[in-house]
Amino acid sequence: MIDAVVVGAGVNGLAAAVVLARAGLDVEVWEANATPGGGARTLPLTEPGFVHDWGSAVHPMALASPFFRAFGLADRIELTAPDASYAQPIDADRAAVAWRDLSRTADGLGPDGKAWRNVFAPLVEHSDQLIETVMAPMLPLPAHPFVAARLGLRIARTGLPRAPWGFAGEAAPALLAGVFAHSISKLPSLAAAAPGLVLATLAHTVGWPIPHGGSQAITDAMVADARAHGARILLDRRALSFDDLPPARAVFFDTSPRSLVALAGDRVASRYRRAATRYRYGDAATKVDFALRGPVPWAAGEVSHAGTVHLGGTWREVAAAEAEVAAGRHASRPYVLVSQPGIVDASRAPEGKQALWTYAHVPAGSDVDVRESVIAQLERFAPGFRDQVIASSVTTARDLERGDANLIGGDIATGQVSLRQLVARPVLSRAPWRAGRGIYLCSAATVPGPGVHGMGGFHAARLALSEVFGRPAPDLTP
């Protein structure tokens, strides 16, 4: 019998493998795809010489997550945070920009500068405690109750019906809409405001960094470390039943709760099985990647400094687009998330050219090619965009699930971001990763949820080290 098997070499499965292997255990990882990384892979999607992130593109958590800090990710790979974390074009030639510098951002928001500062300055000041709070279970108490209360007040101000409150102009609410829409849910909502405010706070602290070479660099650093400590990472190896796996003292599932139950059956505790059955999957994204002749010709010049651009216009317009998706329809002017990695990483495209990453929100399970509506949104804020396109590639919501079984119906968060599933993911517990005796769920479907932070795997592995193996958590430094 070996010590541990990990099903799935996404960032969370690999985080578990790193911790377990460094603790001296015999670890085997099974990954269905030929390339490890799940949502954090980089693939040639368009033309030779253009490098595209298949899934995640922008990585605030790569610098902020307690796991990646302990792992020393920033010492292992090159990550650059642009001066402008994200931008929101509002109309033909007007845009709001969230700079890393909070004061610069507030100064650019005119009459709403003071309100922006009031929302973010206290969160920025306690940013480390904020991250420790949201990266851990809420039971028995939030890690830093005082900071949690401050966050809670701001969630109410920006997430309750008729929010956001206290802003006079269009620019600040538009910026919030862009970042809250990451949750793929109706606006305003408490569930969208909670992770949105955390991301927006990080925009003013570590920034929204881009890994040189793509998100695969993050995955590869973890694969290299796990292998250096003896873990076997087997590719093209899909687990179809529990009996396929080698007998092990602990099994970690970097999978959806649905796959956990399908694979582990009644090895999963009955309360956990019920929660997995009730667990809801959310709406989806469809990727459109572009090979461009040069930079995007943004009408508002400062948008070209932003690593990430949220397209959709005003708060009201973004909310209308998200409401369409929530009602099961494709929005004619969808919310589009754009990453322009070339502003900090020249390795993504041949000289002078640019690789552009985008996705639009679509209803769960969509197989619709939304290329034209994405191009129309880009043309709206960057006239002449179409002429820059050399090639494009569409990965529909269904294709996303085909490429990573965790992304059910194209749900890139592996589970709806609802208020309930922010705290009960998939169960409300001090140890939501423990699914049964020696069985752990460690994917984005458990605490702390989606994002490239490795914390699901980190928590699950440390729990098993203490309760199955009686070993201390190892040092993770390079």
Ligand X SMILES: Cc1cc2nc3c(=O)[nH]c(=O)nc-3n(C[C@H](O)[C@H](O)[C@H](O)COP(=O)(O)OP(=O)(O)OC[C@H]3O[C@@H](n4cnc5c(N)ncnc54)[C@H](O)[C@@H]3O)c2cc1C
Which residues would be at the binding site for ligand X (CB under 6 A)? Answer: 7-13, 30-33, 38-40, 55-59, 61, 238-239, 254-255, 259, 285, 287, 359, 400, 404-407, 412, 443-444, 450-452, 456
312: left (phi over 0), alpha (psi -120 to 50) or beta: left
Helix (H) or strand (E) holding 29: strand 27-30
Work out how close the CB of 317 gets to ligand X at its nearest, in angstroms, rounded to a whole number.
22
State the Cα–Cα distance between residues 220 and 229, nearest whole angstrom.
14
Contact 1, 249 (CB under 8 A): yes
Nearest approach, Cβ of 161 to ligand X (angstroms)?
A: 28
For Cα atoms 230, 236, 240, give the angle at the middle one, nearest 5 degrees: 100
The partner residues of 52 in beta bridges, in order of sequence, read: 43
Q: Indicate the residue among 70 and 405 with the shorter CB distance to ligand X.
A: 405
Query: Shortest gap between Cβ of 184 and ligand X (angstroms)?
Result: 11
Nearer to ligand X, 38 or 113 (CB): 38
Shortest distance, position 361 Cβ to ligand X, whole Å:
11
Residue type at 217 in one-letter notation? A
Q: CB of 7: closest distance to ligand X in angstroms?
A: 5
**Spatial distance between the Cα atoms of 447 and 460, rounded to a whole number of angstroms:** 10
Q: Assign 269 to helix, strand or coil.
A: coil
Residues in CB range of 55: below 8 A, 6 or more apart: 37, 38, 39, 40, 41, 215, 400, 404, 412
Looking at beta carbons only, is 6 or 291 nearer to ligand X? 6
Cβ nearer to ligand X, comparing 334 with 451: 451
Distance of CA 22 to the CA centre of its chain: 26
* Residues linked to residue 116 through DSSP beta bridges, in sequence order: none
CB closer to ligand X, 193 vs 251 = 251
Q: How far is the CB of 242 from ligand X (least distance, A)?
A: 10
Cα 229 to Cα 240: distance, rounded to the nearest angstrom: 27
CB 288 within 8 A of CB 391: no
Least distance between ligand X and beta carbon 12 (Å): 3
Nearer to ligand X by C-beta: 229 or 287? Answer: 287
